[in-house]
């Protein structure tokens, strides 16, 4: 599949759990580090919650910034 490359940043107070794969990312076919997918993402007020096979994170007072990096 062809995908556009984006840099999607959440800014705010970040609280990580001790995820199982944060220190052991896989490498994709191009050799880039791959931390896995986001399985769940929801908002409560101005906080964002994200979960995946890498663990979970809470971003309080979250703002988002997206940058297009090309195809």
The two tokens of residue 57 are 């994170």
Closest CA to 16 of 52, 44, 70, 45: 52
Please give the DSSP secondary-structure letter assigned to residue 64.
E
- Residue 3 to residue 6: CA distance in whole angstroms: 9
pLDDT at res. 48: 93
Q: What does the pLDDT read at residue 65?
A: 94
Ranges of residues in the chain with a pLDDT under 70 are: 1-2, 18-23
Neighbours of 38 (CB within 10 A): 13
The pLDDT mean for the chain works out to 85
Provide the 8-state DSSP code for 31. S
CB 25 within 8 A of CB 35: yes
């Amino acid at each position: 599949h062809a995908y556009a490359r984006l840099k999607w940043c959440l800014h705010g107070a970040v609280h990580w759990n001790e995820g199982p794969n944060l220190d052991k990312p896989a490498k994709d076919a191009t050799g880039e580090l791959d931390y896995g997918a986001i399985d769940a993402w929801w908002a409560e007020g101005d906080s964002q919650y994200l979960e995946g096979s890498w663990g979970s994170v809470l971003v309080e007072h979250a703002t988002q910034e997206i940058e297009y990096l090309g195809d």
